[in-house]
């Protein structure tokens, strides 16, 4: 498919925003709303999972749970490249409308297969995060853009603090369909606000979209992530799972073969510079670490200390505080990392986030049985997650040419998801291997204290490994500090 920027309407020139103003505050609110949609579209249906299973008369909870995120991995390469050629705002609006359509399909789905089609469309919301990052980088000067990226990538987590309390009464009154009504309304409102208030990106790439390569990459990633996410429930060696893994590996091999031979691949492997490769390595390890720790926190939060296992935090309302604290930490960490990046470069807050996460992970060796310490560690892990995510986007896009910033931001999103899925699985296998037969907490099996401590140690080691490329990036930054253009007066 050949499409060039010359065939499209040129965006009206807009002076990049160089300071915080009312206009920039509106932009930040609108872009954060678009990212809120991604969280709602992918996460909220899990609040009504039992009702969905009953309504569709199925036991495939794993597919209902993971379908939108897996679809997001498939959508990402195509939407990322398209945003560079057709314009970030244009593709962001299209992404939001796709997510809206997906929510409506889920709302009226007569069977589970139509429902999964709706979740596939909703998965496009996954792209909203990296498109808003690339858009922010191009409608603001670098210093302001980095602060804005920190805000919009972490601000949506504030919704995670209050969402369960807001949605539960709505679900109780209107049933499971209310989740999809809210998601559709949010998507439509976000698309309208982006169309009304956000300018188009002034920089666009030229050339063609390698549609075949995009689908090979996205399909391969989606298949491998599906195997990693669903194999535990459906059987690692079952024929369907083996076929899925083989198909995913074949698709990724086909994409790599194409990428080395076509002139304009969806991701040019040959053009990935040392700073980008180091950034991606740090992110896949760090994301795996903090996501696996947040997963562990949600598990041990349900284990009463009275079981005498050597760990456990279940204590009524205190558990809600424990689970809400990381979301607050993400907002603080991401916002502060963006501000620091605008003044000292993004490599420093990336390393700082990894350092905070390392301390929090190893402190959880004691925190698994001490609620106040666990809450403090949860806040620190949230701050680390916010700082690492915002700094990863800022660092990768700052070393890439403007006409390829959408593509590289999409690659960052995929790497973050990849690290989360793979290491969540690894941690889950550690707990499964150390389960105590016949012992359950809140209806779920529990593991030995040794298994929990081994899980925590694994996460801490991942943070230490992530620090190695982060230190190299920070050292390079101090050896050759970036020169940011002076803001316009």
CA–CA separation, 319 and 311 (whole Å): 14
Rounded Cα distance, 316 and 61, in Å:
27
Which tokens is 480 given?
A: 């050759």
CB 309 within 8 A of CB 450: no
Cβ-proximal residues to 26 (8 Å cutoff; 6+ apart), any chain: 197
pLDDT value for 483: 44
Whether 435 and 445 have beta carbons less than 8 Å apart is answered as yes
pLDDT at 12: 52
Residue 314: DSSP 8-state: -
Distance CA 132, CA 148 (A): 10
pLDDT at 382: 94
Query: Dihedral, CA atoms, 266, 252, 118, 170, nearest 10 degrees?
Result: -90
Supply angle C-alpha 391, 379, 294, rounded to 5.
80
What pLDDT does residue 443 have?
64
State the DSSP code for 8.
S
- Per-residue model confidence (pLDDT) at position 317: 59
- Cα 63 from Cα 233, distance rounded (Å): 10
What is the chain's pLDDT, residue by residue, as a tens digit (489 residues)? 444 444 444 555 566 777 888 999 999 999 999 998 888 887 777 778 878 888 888 877 767 777 887 888 889 999 999 999 999 999 999 999 999 999 999 999 999 889 999 999 998 998 999 999 999 999 999 999 999 999 999 988 877 777 777 777 888 888 889 999 999 999 999 999 999 999 998 888 877 888 899 989 988 988 888 888 777 777 888 888 899 999 999 999 999 998 888 888 888 888 889 999 999 999 999 998 998 898 888 788 878 887 888 888 876 556 677 878 898 999 999 999 999 999 999 999 999 999 999 999 999 999 998 889 999 999 999 999 999 999 999 999 999 888 899 999 999 998 998 888 888 888 888 888 898 887 777 666 788 999 999 999 999 999 999 999 999 999 987 665 444 444 444
Whole-structure pTM value? 0.88
* Calpha distance 398→276 (Å, rounded): 10
Are the CB atoms for 254 and 263 separated by under 8 Å? no
What pLDDT does 442 receive? Answer: 65
Residue of 237, 239, 172, 211 lying closest to 85 (CA atoms): 211
Tell me if 133 sits within 8 A of 153, measured CB to CB: yes
């Amino acid at each position: 498919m050949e499409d060039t920027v010359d065939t499209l309407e040129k965006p009206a020139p807009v002076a990049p925003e160089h300071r915080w103003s009312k206009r920039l505050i509106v932009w930040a609110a609108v872009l954060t709303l678009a990212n809120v949609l991604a969280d709602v579209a992918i996460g909220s249906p899990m609040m009504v999972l039992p009702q969905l299973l009953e309504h569709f008369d199925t036991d495939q909870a794993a597919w209902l749970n993971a379908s939108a995120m897996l679809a997001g991995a498939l959508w990402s390469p195509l939407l990322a490249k398209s945003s560079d050629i057709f314009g970030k705002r244009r593709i962001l609006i299209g992404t939001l409308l796709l997510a809206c359509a997906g929510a409506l399909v889920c709302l009226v789905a007569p069977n589970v297969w139509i429902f999964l089609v709706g979740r596939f469309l909703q998965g496009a919301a996954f792209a909203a995060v990296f498109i808003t990052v690339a858009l922010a980088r191009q409608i603001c000067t670098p210093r302001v853009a980095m602060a804005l990226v920190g805000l919009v990538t972490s601000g949506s987590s504030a919704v995670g603090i209050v969402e369960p309390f807001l949605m539960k009464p709505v679900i109780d009154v209107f049933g499971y369909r209310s989740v999809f009504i809210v998601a559709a309304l949010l998507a439509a409102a976000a698309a309208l606000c982006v169309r009304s208030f956000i300018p188009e990106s002034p920089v666009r790439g030229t050339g063609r979209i390698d549609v075949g390569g995009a689908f090979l990459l996205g399909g391969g990633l989606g298949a491998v992530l599906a195997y990693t996410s669903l194999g535990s429930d459906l059987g690692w060696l079952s024929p369907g799972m083996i076929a899925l893994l083989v198909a995913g590996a074949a698709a990724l091999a086909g994409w790599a073969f194409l990428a080395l031979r076509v002139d304009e691949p969806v991701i040019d492997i040959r053009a990935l510079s040392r700073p980008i490769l180091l950034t991606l390595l740090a992110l896949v390890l760090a994301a795996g670490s903090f996501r696996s720790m947040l997963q562990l926190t949600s598990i041990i939060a349900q284990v009463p200390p009275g079981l005498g296992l050597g760990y456990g935090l279940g204590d009524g309302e205190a558990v809600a505080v424990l689970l809400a604290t990381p979301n607050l930490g993400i907002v603080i960490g991401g916002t502060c990392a963006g501000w620091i990046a605008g003044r000292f470069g993004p490599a420093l807050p990336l390393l700082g986030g990894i350092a905070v996460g390392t301390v929090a992970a190893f402190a959880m060796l004691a925190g698994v049985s001490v609620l106040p310490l666990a809450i403090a560690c949860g806040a620190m892990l949230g701050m680390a997650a916010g700082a690492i995510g915002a700094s990863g986007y800022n660092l990768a896009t700052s070393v890439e040419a403007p006409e390829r910033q959408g593509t590289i931001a999409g690659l960052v999103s995929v790497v973050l998801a990849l690290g989360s899925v793979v290491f969540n699985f690894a941690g889950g296998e550690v707990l499964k291997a150390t389960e105590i037969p016949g012992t359950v907490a809140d209806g779920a099996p529990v593991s030995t204290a040794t298994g929990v401590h081994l899980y925590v140690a694994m996460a801490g080691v991942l943070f230490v490994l992530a620090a190695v490329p982060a230190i190299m990036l920070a050292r390079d930054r101090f050896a050759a500090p970036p020169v940011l253009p002076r803001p316009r007066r």
